[in-house]
Amino acid sequence: MCIRDRSKESQVRKGENNMNRPIKDHVSAGGLLLNKNNTHAYLIYKKSREQWQLPKGHQKEGETLEETALREIYEETGYKNIQLVGDINTQIEYDFELEREPEYSHHKIVYFFLAKLTNDYREENTQDKGENLGGDWVSLGKVVQNLSHAEEKNAAEKLLGKTNN
């Protein structure tokens, strides 16, 4: 994570409402996890917000984006035997606020990879403490409509386009 002094920036990013606060930058990675037959993708259900999303999470110091994506997909789904297909396929960016850090604005970049199961073995209890996530396999034709956020819908459409190549 990096903290920037907003007063030194020459451009204002859309969605920011307080130009006097420094920006904390966050980097995350995750992916669209396909089953072995390329017929379904695993979506995460965030119970606290009642939202469907792609598995993703913060990059740890020293991790590559690929390592972060693999770790986060595993932690949130329980599936460890996966492989990434190709390079980074898409990314999204957004700004957000945190009640516990009102003195900062936050900016996140999330890199999404296309991932595929290599076998169906799934571990239980792989989520971080405090995460209350569910999940389910969704047919590829319904992935985009089930996702809750427009940015992730766009990312999923791009990743799904890669499955036909």
pLDDT, tens digit, 9 for 90 and up, residues 20-41: 789 999 999 999 999 999 999 9
Q: How confident is the model at residue 88, as a pLDDT?
A: 66
C-alpha gyration radius of the chain: 17
Q: How confident is the model at residue 87, as a pLDDT?
A: 73
Per the CB < 8 A criterion, the answer to whether 24 and 1 are in contact is: yes
* pLDDT-derived band at 121, boundaries 50, 70, 90: confident
Fold held by 2-10+18-162:
Nucleoside Triphosphate Pyrophosphohydrolase (3.90.79)
CB-count burial class (<10 Å; 0-12, 13-18, 19+) for 108: middle
Give percent above pLDDT 90 in the chain: 70
How far is residue 110's CA from residue 95's CA, in Å, rounded to a whole number? 12
Predicted model pTM: 0.83
Q: Find the range with the poorest average confidence among 13-22, 82-91, 107-116.
A: 13-22
Q: How confident is the model at residue 48, as a pLDDT?
A: 86
More confident position, 20 or 49: 49
pLDDT at 4 over 70: no
* Structural domain spans, the chain: 2-10+18-162
DSSP 18-83: -TTS-EEEEEEEEEEEE-TTSSEEEEEEETTTTEEE--EEEPPTT--HHHHHHHHHHHHH-B--EE
